[in-house]
Structure 1
Amino acid sequence: MSPHQPLNPSALRPSRRIDDCSRLDDSYLAYARSIAHEASDPRRRLDVCRRLIHSGLIGETISMLATLVNVPQLRPEVSEMMAQVRELRQLRAGNGVALPDGGAEGASDDRGYWVVPAQSDTTLIAFTGRAQRLGLSIYFMHSLLSRLNANVIYLFDWANSFYFAGVSGLSRDTETTVAQLRALCAGLHSRRVLCIGQSAGGYGALRYGAKLNADGIIAFSPLILPVMASRTRARIEAETGLPLTEEETDLRRLLANHSRPPHIEIVYGTDNAADVASARHLAGLPTVVERPLQGVSSHGTIQETVIGKTFGPLLHAFSTAAGPGLVGPLPR
């Protein structure tokens, strides 16, 4: 794909694989309905509620929670989940996401990216994590990200390689995938490029964002130190055939040697020791800003900020801080 080449129309619809991992299939929904009664195991029903929430199925979650309100041992968890559902329902009101005309691509399509244009000169590249979500289903999250008035490119790492193996449909290596993403952004007439991700997707956003010369990167609980560990590098090599050194996975080294480092914000919970350690690994770099969430122990900081009504303000403040963007074409 060369710069300014028209977008492939198929990329404007989610692939079948993206669609499958972004919604619960009919068999699981049938299972959920079959246990939605007080005679079934309440713990199983609570687990179903968690999956329904992650998929953005608010009405179904409420129906299942209604079967749990009289279970004394689960009352604190049910009350907390009900509060979460109320916040999510308010956020989603009037912002439901409809699939583009034609729905998803055919069953054979393994493409790992989806482009959602917004006729904007800003493009947000969203790196999903190992669960193939941005904390919540991308269909739900798009109702929030669309408020940024930016084109969005959703990416999925089918190889579970922290995006070292590229993105299916673009390339199987980092550098060619970067070039393809740059071409996609050019095709969207982007003047400004931002990146977002959580967990493994946070690592991908930081690494690819630096290589793309993005204007800004916001990473929620990025896995930074774990990727540098020999066990993780060995697993990536075993699954992809890509040998990686500790230096190649060290984001601090990459960013410290960058000629034009992007504006970076790291969001993490102060009570999650592993996430604090990863965030502190980038401490002191001039363009890195920490956004600690006091008292939060969860690794799912996108969910925490969405439910706490701070995700939108965080995202808009980040977008403003990233600056007006490049003037003219994106660098090649």
Structure 2
Amino acid sequence: MVEHRYLGNSGLKVSEITYGNWVTHASQIDDSGAIATVHAALDAGITTFDTADTYANTAAEVVLGKALAGQRRASLEIFTKVYFPTGPQGPNDTGLSRKHIFESIDGSLQRLGTDYVDLYQAHRYDYETPLEETMQAFADVVRAGKALYIGVSEWTAEQLREGAALAKELRVPFISNQPQYSMLWRVIEDKVVPASAELGISQIVWSPMAQGVLSGKYLPGQPVPAGSRATDEKSGAHFIKGFLRDEVLTAVQRLEPIASDCGLTMPQLAIAWVLQNPNVAAALVGASRPEQIASNVAASGVKLDADVMAAIDTALGDVVERDPQNTYTVSPKARLA
């Protein structure tokens, strides 16, 4: 069963393996398949579910709402996000303005079939809206009982500090950041993680398997597998392209004996690795088939000793991306419309 961790400096516990439906629901799999995977997650002890209004242009929230219908609401932690364009993508259908936040939370709650979300997240930083406006709107959403806590995704260390200062002033619980993080992508370690630890903010990390590259199924010098994410432009193919270099894929293959010696599969090793970071509260994992859930859950509670962590670093060598400047390029400088 999945172990739980506190999220940030709060009393909220979340399952350290969290179910995310970014590229699966209303996209890769039909509704019946999505419902089956969610129920498998529940059976495995996953209580935390992450989505966003922009996933499949709001349809992913609808599917998750259907899948969780009938469950005891108090036993679940449901997260969603706001920022990216939704609906007809008009001039105010994006960003972190007060207008868009207020309209988006109501839409998300309706689609998810719940009166509140446990965590409401700014999906990116909005350079076109004053941060004071955004944080005041989030505070009002919390005070209206529509969200219990607030978080963000892919904010820089400086943005986290500024947001946390306003949150403290507004007396609103700001407890999480959701960045990309994996053995291959460690750009948050230099600045974001230390700032977060100081501020009482946890990481909920996405792509712990580097878009599937750390599963070992992508081989150097070979075509990408048919039907894989790398072939599907609707399912994050552009995110994986940077990892599909022969030097990266060759290094990843060197992880297989390490995983085997630990009694783990390569995906389990990848998930367990991110969970060794004490600032990580949860690893976001998706699934297109129920059996994938059982395999992923086996990474919960795994402790990797110092020798294993060192062996992983040696195997990957200099293909690991560590440059903290990458954290400054994720949020668009202008809203996407």
**What's the TM-score, normalizing by structure 1?**
0.32
Larger radius of gyration: 1
| Higher RCO (CA 8 Å, separation ≥ 6 residues) | 2
TM-score, with structure 2 as normaliser: 0.31
